Structure 1
Amino acid sequence: MSQSAPPPQSPQPGPVDGNPYAQQAPAGVPAAPGTPYPPQPGAFAPPAAPSAPARNNVVLGLVAAVVAAVVVAGLYGLIIGATKHEIGWAAVGVGFVVGLAAGKAGGRNPALPVIGAVLALGSVYLGQLIGTAMIGADQLHVDFGELFFDHFDVVQKVWKEEADPLTFVFFAIAAFAAFSGAKKAAQ
């Protein structure tokens, strides 16, 4: 028994051109992605798929932001101690990480960007104190822990004497980065 192949056919133009049943879409209406034909006149779009419920957990966002603030304060202090000066972009990173943690963990609660900004201010301040103590411990040839924990008032006094307007610009930048980072992370 032999099978015959179907007769060769001439190439057909596109689906709309060669299909008498297909209708042209009105001008300016593109076909939906993944569909071979444009929508039919009078057709309605399918209902949108339900999205995941918005997170709104202030406590979880607060805990995540506090943990992030402490960690990045230590890293910022290490950067200051190693380079012997403040770095503005590091302050931006401190703020952004704190805000990102608050927004990712806590969701869209409107209090979280404000909480993130406040914690970023504290984180930058703590980081600058750690950096000041590292520099002082190196210059005085004492242990960092002894200087930071036993003579914290001296560290604060040195920080206050060395603070300049740029120091407070870093605070503002970190707070702004935390606020916007929390907003973006919650979307």
Structure 2
Amino acid sequence: MSQNFQPPAPSSYTEAPAPAPVQASGNVGLGIVAAVVAAVATAAAYGAIIGATKYEISYASLAVGAVIGLAAGKLGGRNPLLPVLSALLALAAILGGQMFGMAMITADEAGVSTTDVLNLGVSLLFDGWKENAEPMTFLFLAVGGYAAFQVARKTAA
């Protein structure tokens, strides 16, 4: 007995096309600009909060970092530079906000305008900041920087 062997018919399906290459979403330049704008705006807001309350508030420094990181991550994409830049900008914004708040408090106590105190110079403000800095001041800087880094990293599209 002989059996006729028939080879299987060619398959009737086609292979799936190769996946499209993954393109980085976001615009790094736009992310950097947004983070800088957010840093300036949050520094002013943080300073105004300190000036009005005469206290540093930990949640406010956390919010400064989160807003900067969110702006960089959402608009800048997954570039590894953005979380680091966000953390540095958050440190600068928190420091600037603390100095602005201190200028507002000094102006209030001296009976002059905040502009008059700011016109004395950044070096005098920074010297005053160094004299008044406490461990919590540095903790607020660290919290804000960490928040900016993590939010930028996790929200990157």
Q: TM-score range by the shorter chain?
A: 0.7 to 0.9
Between 1 and 2, higher relative CO (CA 8 Å, sep ≥ 6) is seen in: 2
- Are the counterparts in 2 of residues 57 and 109 from structure 1 also a CA contact under 8 Å? no
Same amino acid, percent of matched pairs: 51
Equivalent in the alignment of 1:158: 128
Q: Give the 3-state SS of the residue equivalent to 1:86 in structure 2.
A: coil
Aligned AA for 1:135?
Answer: I
- Are the counterparts in 1 of residues 26 and 74 from structure 2 also a CA contact under 8 Å? no
Equivalent in the alignment of 1:107: 77
Superposed CA deviations along residues 2-24 of structure 1, whole A, max 9, x for unmatched, are: xxxxxxxxxxxxxxxxxxxxxxx
In the TM superposition, residue 53 of structure 1 has moved relative to its aligned partner by 4.4
Equivalent in the alignment of 1:73: 43
Equivalent in the alignment of 2:115: 145
Picking from 127, 150, 157, the partner of 1:180 is 150
In the TM superposition, residue 132 of structure 1 has moved relative to its aligned partner by 0.2
Q: Distance in 2 between matches of 1:149 and 1:57?
A: 37
- Are the counterparts in 2 of residues 101 and 182 from structure 1 also a CA contact under 8 Å? yes
Aligned AA for 2:40?
Answer: V
Q: Distance in 2 between matches of 1:110 and 1:167?
A: 28
Q: How many residues align structurally? A: 141
Superposed CA deviations along residues 61-99 of structure 1, whole A, max 9, x for unmatched, are: 111100000000000000000000100110000000000
Measured on the aligned residues, the alpha-carbon RMSD in Å equals: 2.0
Q: Distance in 2 between matches of 1:111 and 1:148?
A: 32
Correspondence 1:1-187 to 2 at 5 A = 53-187=23-157
Larger Rg, first or second structure (1 or 2): 1
Q: Going by fraction, where is helix more abundant, 1 or 2?
A: 2
Equivalent in the alignment of 1:3: none
Aligned AA for 1:174?
Answer: G
In the TM superposition, residue 56 of structure 1 has moved relative to its aligned partner by 4.5
Structure 2: gaps spanning 5 or more residues: 1-15
Moved over 3 A (4+): none
Q: Distance in 2 between matches of 1:156 and 1:172?
A: 18
